Amino acid sequence: MPIRTSRHGPGRIRPSEITPKDVWLDRRTLLRNAGFGLAALAAPAAFWPRLAHARRKFDDLVKSKWTVDEEPTSLDDITSYNNFYEFGTGKGDPARYSGDFKPLPWSIRVGGECEKPGVIDYEDLIGSFGVEERVYRFRCVEAWSMIVPWAGIQLDRVLARFQPTSKAKYVAFETVYRPEEMRGQQRGFLDWPYVEGLRIDEAMHPLTLLAVGIYGEELPNQNGAPVRLVVPWKYGYKSIKSIVSITFTETEPPTTWNIQAPHEYGFYSNVNPERSHPRWSQARERRLGGGLFAKKIATLKFNGYEEEVGPLYAGMDLIRHH
Ligand SMILES: Nc1nc2c(c(=O)[nH]1)N[C@H]1C(S)=C(S)[C@@H](COP(=O)(O)O)O[C@H]1N2
Ligand SMILES: [Mo]
């Protein structure tokens, strides 16, 4: 079995960029593959190689003004308790089963209502637009939340290149479909591929980020490598992972969780402590990393970004348009 030191294939990463940690984690992968698998089956997610691949560092990360002044959640917590149904429905499944996913090379098709439809390659994306570090609050519908130092590119800068027309009222996003690498896609947990959408003004809002990294390095597979959306004032499920296509549309695009359970999940999905999920309240949350008995804190409207994004929804009934 070849020793993989990099998910980018031979020659893409210089040996100097591989840290001892990466090598150590790779050795764990080898051990697992070499027959420690059975013992590991019974082990908790913590045993599994969560960051099995070398991930490039972003050197010239610009610190963004869009940064909350809160203590970031640890990388360990951010990468071990995930939702990514393409790898299974358990919170530990993405860390456990995403090791064989190959995020690079990668490109994203952009089309629909725009003057210049085309394809953007990952290397072009991170080379052409400045990658910024932004520490955002991130709130999942199951009422856990975290503080994440994302590395990313403001989405509107990327979209502008394709020149959306006046008919572009929404933007639709689609996740890759690769059942051979994504074991969850071999099962009917959701309608594959995962799809999401934003109104054009939401997509163009400066807070909306195309994330390519966490803690200054490329995204781990379980967090949506190599490119995922981050919309910090909405519930986590709007932040679609491993994006392969972006389409400008005239009408509201279908979204995975709305298709799945329309009474529970609407198109807007703005964080709203006043609108309960039909099966539980959304008024409080628990920060990841604080343990099961961590005290709950009050959830803020628009996840604390009301000043920035409140005006987008002026006059709208946010209970009806949940
Ligand atoms: N393609 C895809 N994107 C997805 C999901 C998914 O299952 N598949 N889960 C969503 C949900 S419910 C959440 S809370 C976030 C979790 O992101 P994280 O694992 O990086 O914390 O990803 C979102 N994006
Ligand atoms: Mo979520």
Dump pLDDT digits (tens) for 136-169.
Answer: 999 999 999 999 999 999 999 999 999 999 999 9
pLDDT tens, residue by residue, 64-114: 999 999 999 999 999 999 999 999 999 999 999 999 999 999 999 999 999
Nearest ligand by distance to the CA of 241: 1
| Angle 70-76-82 from CA coordinates, rounded to 5° | 90
Establish if 299 belongs to a structural domain. yes
- Phi, psi (degrees; rounded to nearest 5) at 249: -130, 160
Q: Is residue 56 in a domain?
A: yes
> Is 8 contained in some domain?
no
User: Which strand (E) or helix (H) includes residue 155?
Assistant: helix 155-160
Bin 302: left if φ > 0, else alpha if -120 < ψ < 50, else beta.
left
Query: Distance between CA atoms of 97 and 182, rounded to whole angstroms?
Result: 8
Residue 23 reports pLDDT greater than 60: no
Percent pLDDT > 90 in the chain is: 80
Tell me how many domains the chain contains: 1
Asked if residue 319 is part of any domain, the answer here is no
Report whether residue 82 contacts ligand 1, using a CB cutoff of 6 Å: yes
Strand boundaries in 113-227, DSSP class E: 118-121, 132-139, 144-154, 170-175, 195-199, 209-214, 217-218
20 CA from centroid of ligand 1 (Å): 29
216 contacts 133 by C-beta, under 8 angstroms:
yes
* Cβ of residue 196 lying under 6 Å from some atom of ligand 1: no
Which residue has the CA at smallest separation from atom 6 of ligand 1? 84
- Write the pLDDT tens digit of every residue in 53-71: 679 999 889 999 999 999 9
Q: Over the stretch 194-233, which tens digit does the pLDDT of each residue have?
A: 999 999 999 999 999 999 999 999 999 999 999 999 999 9
- Between CA 45 and CA 100 the distance in angstroms is 16
Instruction: Assess whether the C-beta atom of 86 lies below 6 angstroms from ligand 1.
Output: yes
pLDDT of residue 292: 73
CA distance 266 to 268: 6
> Looking at residue 54, what is its pLDDT?
77
Residue 46 is predicted with a pLDDT of: 47
pLDDT at 26 over 80: no
> What pLDDT was estimated at residue 13?
35
Task: List the beta bridge partners of residue 228.
Answer: 211
Under a CB-based contact definition with an 8 Å cutoff, are residues 268 and 322 in contact? yes
Of 9-23, 117-131, 207-221, which gets the smallest average pLDDT?
9-23
Give the CATH number of the domain where residue 193 resides.
3.90.420.10
DSSP per position, 239-259: S--SEEEEEEESSPPP-HHHH
Instruction: Confirm whether 320 is domain-assigned.
Output: no
Establish whether residue 175 lines the binding site of ligand 1, counting it when its CB lies within 6 angstroms of any ligand atom.
Answer: yes
The confidence band for 290, taking pLDDT boundaries of 50, 70 and 90, is confident
- The reply to whether ligand 1 has any atom less than 6 angstroms from the CB of 302 is no
pLDDT band at 35 (very low <50, low <70, confident <90, very high): very low
Residue closest via CA to ligand 1's atom 7 equals 84
d(CA 163, CA 110) in angstroms, rounded, equals 10
Judge whether residue 25 has pLDDT over 60. Answer: no
The answer to whether residue 318 sits within a structural domain is no
Strands 107-112 and 118-121: antiparallel
CB atoms inside a 10 Å sphere around CB 119: 11
Of 2-16, 73-87, 200-214, 265-279, the range with the lowest mean pLDDT is 2-16
Contact 50, 222 (CB under 8 A): yes
Match 């909405």 to its residue by tokens: 234
**Separation of alpha carbons 213 and 210, rounded Å:** 9
DSSP-derived letter for residue 65 is S
- Domain assignment present for residue 75? The answer is yes
More confident residue, 254 or 34: 254
Q: Is the CB of 95 under 6 A from ligand 1?
A: no
Q: Verify whether ligand 1 is closer than 6 Å to residue 84 (CB atom).
A: yes
Q: Which atom of ligand 1 is nearest to the CA of 78?
A: 21
The CA-based diameter of the chain, rounded to the nearest angstrom, is 61
pLDDT tops 60 at residue 28 = no
Does the Cβ of 190 fall within 6 Å of ligand 1? no
- The DSSP bridge pattern shows strands 144-154 and 170-175 to be unpaired
Which residue among 241, 243, 287 has the greatest number of ligand 1 atoms within 8 angstroms of its CB, and so is best to mutate?
A: 241
Measured in angstroms, how far is the CA atom of residue 277 from the centroid of ligand 2? Answer: 13
Residue 226 has a pLDDT of 98
- Residue 252 backbone phi and psi in degrees, to 5: -60, 120
Mean pLDDT of the chain: 87
Averaged pLDDT, 42-49: 47
Closest ligand to C-alpha of residue 94 is 1
Ligand nearest the Cα of residue 238 is 1
Token pair, residue 171, equals 């933007």
- Which ligand has the nearest atom to the CA of 142? 2
Q: Is the pLDDT of residue 20 over 80?
A: no
Number of other residues whose CB lies within 10 A of the CB of residue 116: 10
The beta strands (E) that lie in the chain are given as 62-63, 107-112, 118-121, 132-139, 144-154, 170-175, 195-199, 209-214, 217-218, 228-230, 243-249, 284-287, 297-298
For 138, other C-beta atoms within 10 Å of its C-beta total: 22
Name which of 29-43, 125-139, 169-183 the model is least confident about: 29-43
Residue 9 lies in a domain: no
Domain, as residue range, for 242: 15-313
CA angle (291, 26, 57) in 5-degree steps? 75
pLDDT for residue 176: 98
